[in-house]
Amino acid sequence: MKSTRLIAVLAAFGLLVCGITNAVAQQADAATGQVAPSENGTNQEFKITRVSPAYWRVTIDHPPFNIFGPESIPMLNSVVTQIESDPQLKVVVFDSAVPGFFLTHYDFVPPLEATTSLPPGPTGLPPLPDMLVRLSRSPVVTIVKIRGRATGVGSELSLACDMRFASREKAVLSQFEIGAGFTPGGGPMSRLPRLVGRGRALEILLSGNDINGDIAERYGYVNRALPDAQLDKFVDTLARRIATFDKQSIADIKHIVNASSLPSDQELGAEWTSFIASVQRPAAQRDIKKLMELGLQKNPDVETNLAKYTGMVSQSKDK
């Protein structure tokens, strides 16, 4: 891969790592349990299931690895816009239909223009960080149910949501970017210290290691890690309970908690700037190229054991 092409690919990766922008689901049938189809009648990458007017599930379904690419941005933005604008909605649960993967990293194959041609979102931030900010600030409660790998963008989407619940046996969270020679861009450097403390945030970000469900719970990366067999019932019961409460009171509580806990747009914008600068360095170009050669996006073992492969790439560098 030529240097300019690789830079473009990596920069495109960043848009994913930072936020989630414009168009998923056509308006679904308002009936309980209906899934929103795409324009051509097929289901899209982010499927909205309206469990009730007050409670939706958004299921990520992009096999084999739930990789996020430029085409994902307008689809997720549509979901975010619907969440913001529905007057009856109170709680949304994000989950995955792909075994072993919640949401992973950006698609390195499409050209940069496919992502950079998208305009900034309503916050003025680039599309991905814009969508993540809007999810955090929406009056709707957002919950992620992590069963499988939440890496890069998957971790950043999880951090942007209000609550995170993980499978003790099957959840894996990580910010792997350091192992590929660049910095994250989707907000984890601002969000993680507020959740887990400075030392643990630096451990997560500077090791690039996988964090299992038990450790994620101990650190505060997730609210709770539950036995896998209990995860679905716990999250569904919690979501249904929240959906019975007064929407204005929910919105008021979130607004006041947000004021003392969310990073500013300026902090998140600085992460994006850092990412864009870092992906242009030779180290990042070399490491991502090597990961692609090892089978990133193609080999299930690479996607499942990403920390092992980034370690291999790091150890193989000429000293």
Residue 301 pLDDT: 95
Identify the active-site residue in 84, 169, 177, 217. Answer: 177
Residue 113 pLDDT: 67
Indicate the domain borders of the chain: 3-310
Residue 266 pLDDT: 93
Identify the active-site residue in 71, 84, 156, 293. Answer: 156
What pLDDT digit, counting tens, does each position of 140-150 carry? Answer: 999 999 999 99
**Beta carbons within 10 angstroms of residue 131's beta carbon:** 28
What pLDDT digit, counting tens, does each position of 160-203 carry? Answer: 999 999 999 999 999 999 999 999 989 999 999 999 999 999 99
Residue 110 pLDDT: 62
Burial of 116 (0-12, 13-18, 19+ CB in 10 A): middle
Residue 231 pLDDT: 98
What is 3-310's CATH number? 3.90.226.10
**Beta carbons within 10 angstroms of residue 206's beta carbon:** 11
Work out the percent of the chain whose per-residue pLDDT is above 90: 69
When the pLDDT of each residue in the chain is averaged and rounded to a whole number, the result is: 86
Regions of the chain short of the pLDDT cut 50 = 1-43, 319
pTM of the model: 0.85
Q: Which H or E run includes 137?
A: helix 127-137
Concerning whether 177 is annotated as a catalytic residue, the answer is: yes
Concerning whether 113 is annotated as a catalytic residue, the answer is: no
